[in-house]
Amino acid sequence: MQNQKSTAWRAWQWLDGRYQLAELMGALLHVEIPRSVQTYYLGGIALFFFMVQVVTGILLTLYYQPTPDTAYNSILFIMNEVNFGWLIRSIHAWGANLMVVFTILHLLRVFFQGAYKKPREITWGIGFFLLVITLGFGFTGYLLPWDQRAFWATTVGSEIAGALPLIGEQALIFLRGGADVTARTLTRFYGVHTLILPAMLMALLIIHLTMVHQQGLADPTAKSVNDASTPARKPKKLLPFFPNYLLDEFIAWYIMLAALVILASLFPAGLEEPADPLRTPPHTKPEWYFLFLYQGLKLVPRIMGVIIPIIGGLILLLLPLIDRSPYITARNRPVAIAIGSVTLIAVVALTIWGWLS
């Protein structure tokens, strides 16, 4: 045992002497953050679910075959023949939904606490694109089981892209790989889901975390960005990131892992009949995070139902440039808080309406 420790220590010294790993680890871990910070660990939990998706996704990829003739049977094989395959698939399915939920909650927390303001404008923009990529994960992964629900939900969901003005037809063909959902759509979605989106998310995530590390966490008790950036305004009570805050993050991760396993065990991911392009099931709907768009298209002209969300997304992306008010606290931002609250209520209401209709 002692010999193993000395060998490991010599290996560490060898690497540290060449790459200054101790200095790097110190810069990453020994950071002090304001005790007044209220992150509710939402960003860290979203990161945890992404890691769960990577691990379970790799395990599923070992058995999955992305062709219409084999996709459905490979899912059956995973669920019935692979040891704990049904659990891994269920964890992956629940993890995808919870990743979307906590990414949205993290974005809402940043908005309502005014943490998108100077000097965190770029950090906010990257966070917005991380949410878009997360939704892309859910959309592309939903088709892969190639059952009736997956096939027709993807058909309905992709038709939203076809409603885009001027470029709708081209966008639909590009998304599906043709006019209809076919084998090309399945292989395209599989490639995007397992290669392109993970690479994009990893790159943006590294940049996002680096910016958060360099700028620190926003102090929600600061009245304005000027107060927060004034050296005299820095909080007196600080909390070490390691081990205090990091330990709390790990506790939150363990709780989420327990909840994930319980959900996957009690409500495992199902599988309907194989996809049949010639038989449309009743009440076909897209996944829940696109239901507000789906329901909105029923209430307004098609072009408005697509343009309004696009404009809303652009406003959300450019929010730090639009909202130039220096105030951070919610009571000093009544207009922004009111608009954000009304928009949130409308999206939730449309989602519930679309679910029930």
Q: Give 30-70 pLDDT, tens digit per residue.
A: 887 888 888 999 999 999 999 999 999 999 999 999 999 99
Position 1 scores a pLDDT of 52
Position 27 scores a pLDDT of 83
Any idea what DSSP says for residue 281? P
Phi-psi region of 281 (alpha: psi -120 to 50; beta: other; left: phi over 0): beta
Task: Say whether 346 sits in a helix, a strand or coil.
Answer: helix
Alpha carbons 263 and 97: distance in angstroms, whole number: 12
Q: Are 39 and 241 in contact (CB under 8 A)?
A: no
Position 2 scores a pLDDT of 54
- Residues of the chain short of pLDDT 70, as ranges, are 1-5, 227-236
* Own/partner pairs, 208-217, CB within 8 angstroms, 24+ separation: 208/123, 208/126, 208/127, 208/130, 211/120, 211/122, 211/123, 211/126, 212/123, 213/28, 213/31, 215/119, 215/120, 215/123, 216/31, 216/33, 216/34, 217/33, 217/34, 217/37, 217/39, 217/115
pLDDT mean across residues, the chain: 91
Alpha carbons 45 and 252: distance in angstroms, whole number: 7
**For 40-220+241-275, CATH number?**
1.20.810.10
Position 86 scores a pLDDT of 96
Any idea what DSSP says for residue 274? B
Residue among 98, 92, 106 nearest 144 (CA):
92
Any idea what DSSP says for residue 193? I
Q: Over the range 261-292, which residues count as b (16 or more CB within 10 Å of their CB) and which as e?
A: eebbeeebbebeebbeeeeeeeebbbbbbbbb
Distance of CA 120 to the CA centre of its chain: 19
Position 230 scores a pLDDT of 53
Residue among 302, 150, 328 nearest 226 (CA):
328
Give Dmax over CA atoms of the chain in angstroms. 74
Domains of the chain, residue spans: 40-220+241-275
By CB neighbour count within 10 A (0-12 exposed, 13-18 middle, 19+ buried), where does 152 fall? Answer: buried
